[in-house]
Structure 1
């Protein structure tokens, strides 16, 4: 059995192509150890690697193959969500805010678990690390506000034109989907082609995400990270990127 590389703080991450495969105990696992400082996280995401671990584990680094991605041109705007977004865009008490309260968003996301995991993966060390990444300008929150209250949202990592979705939460029906739709609109407006979703889930697939070979994803990120990224603000006119388009998914 292959031995998992152990990293000391400051060590370079292994090449993503060396991550464990389907014949290994945990496919997609690349390395353990290291640190979660801003420079390490930026190097990791730039090479299509992300951390994911529980509170009783060391830092674990992943690069799954295939990779789940959402091509923003393929976002499925189902009829019910179109109605929800149309009402939201027209209601005076509803708005999308970006980076208004990143801390509240990541703390709310930390209360949720990924599929197949019994506890949260957004442990306190992750909250602290991504808060620092936000302060450095590379982690962003997209927030759904209704009548002055944070109703749902998501946070993501961005390096140039490469956008990596991390986690979302909701306190009202469709509030997290509204935030994701807003991120899709923002990406369309500024020419960002895809949003990384990391792992395959039925929910993401229902919204148009699909799997991509890791090698192709690595090539995409290498190009996208050098491109000019979006302006991280949301204007109501951006809803037209979805709502003005002819419905292609009627169900």
Structure 2
């Protein structure tokens, strides 16, 4: 027997009686109330998505299915994205409910993104998952490339100063080393070397003729090596006339 036209969210008790030509039986009533609702609920929220790979225009994600499907199979997962610092989530993709991985495409290179996942069954969407850790859309596997813009062969006078401010690309971040006339170069009282991820700074103060030569930067990572050199010539002050 199906009882129709109940008001969702209301509690009901039911009673029945048997009827024949001799009359009606005593009534039998349910002991407890029954809430008028669908026999299933929305799913629980999925696990926090984890970025597993990325490039300049996409990020690969994986996540765990909800602990509860709400009593009905999960039909789909909706993946949402937002730029870090923004409060505006937007739908990026939808995948079948049997799938707990996805690739989110059409990202802007250099932008930092966060992601979350919503499970959907026939009752509706779940609460969103916790947001993923942020990830920058950039190449993950990239051979080093030294920016040579500021590497110009230069002539200076003795006692003067010079600096080379150099950017280096590559993923993962390349190791950076300096050499002078083929020998490893270390910082001294006159030479300052700053080396950090994707950048290096060379500063020479109080130049002498001994600083004349070839300065070389070498950048290396597992995907390759790049090398760039610059010639520096230091002119001595003229001697005292005789």
TM-score tier after normalising by the smaller chain length: under 0.3
TM-score between both structures, scaled by the size of structure 2: 0.18
Q: Which has the larger share of helix? A: 1
Q: Which has the larger share of strand? A: 2
Larger Rg: 2
TM-score between both structures, scaled by the size of structure 1: 0.17
